[in-house]
Structure 1
Amino acid sequence: MTEKTTIATPTRRPRPKVMTLTPAAAARVRSIMASKGPDIAGLKIGVKKGGCAGMEYTMTWAESVDKFDEVVEQDGARVIVDPQAVLYLLGTEMDYKTDKLSSTFVFNNPNQQSACGCGESVNLVPAHEDAGEAAE
């Protein structure tokens, strides 16, 4: 007779969200997603090199979620974070502001060291890889 040994599988704790959305940002993303139709999977956020401060935020509408994308769903809004941007966006709060002359998404990012005078680009440093654990 052979004895079976059961090996316990470690329970994974839930990962913290890469980003959060304010109610205003969630409402705006949800509204635009609804107007785009069912073919849109969400608003994809990323970063790229550019501008006088070194980096720029990117936003595009995605038709699908890629294998390594991070998905943030909040209040009916879906934001997809490009995997190459995760360490630059960790802990970021996305807001939507409206004033007399414009309406825009605003990123309150703890990884931002500075921004250019015109507001088009930012200087970002990657968060430490263990920063996600500290956010819990």
Structure 2
Amino acid sequence: MTSLDNPIYLRPEARQQIVDTLQANKIPAEYGLRVGIRGGGCGSSWLLGFDLPGPTDEVYNVEGVRIIIDRKHLLYVLGAEIGYETSEEARGFTVDKPVPAQ
């Protein structure tokens, strides 16, 4: 269930990939996974990356992973599900945003 205490959902494979990346690259504990939106309108895309929190950010602990979300982006990312997929063609993070019920 998504709430302001837990604004996004990490699928187990994504959580493990994030933890492995933080450890393998010796990224300091002050950093977290920034989740946001880049661009706007039809040209928007998801923003995922390791970063330090700033003055306009909210910081959450989602299943042991530090998540950073700019307050301006919170409404747009609320309920997002972050996954990690591998295939013969590619591998990487995926983001699904469920459509609200009408």
**Does TM-score exceed 0.5, indicating one fold?**
yes
Asked whether the 8 Å contact 1:20–1:72 carries over to 2, the reply is no
Return the match for 1:106 from 94, 99, 102.
Answer: 94
Compute the displacement of 1:82 (Å).
2.2
Aligned residue type for 2:42: A
Are 1:96 and 2:84 counterparts?
Answer: yes
Normalised TM-score (structure 2): 0.77
Percentage of matched positions with identical amino acids: 25
Higher relative contact order (CA 8 A, sep 6+): 2
Provide closer, same or farther for how the CA distance between residues 49 and 31 of structure 1 changes in structure 2, counting only shifts above 3 A: same
Provide runs of 4+ in structure 1 moved above 3 Å.
none
Greater share of residues in helix: 2
Equivalences for residues 24-43 of structure 1 within 5 A: 24-39=13-28, 41-43=31-33
Q: Give 5+ residue unaligned stretches, structure 2.
A: none
Preserved contact between residue 26 and residue 74 of structure 1 (Cα < 8 Å):
no
Aligned to 1:48: 38
Consecutive unaligned residues in structure 1, runs of 5 or more:
1-13, 112-126, 128-136
Equivalent residues, number: 97
Q: Distance in 2 between matches of 1:29 and 1:78?
A: 10
Q: 1:1-136 counterparts in 2 under 5 A? A: 15-39=4-28, 41-49=31-39, 53-62=42-51, 64-111=52-99
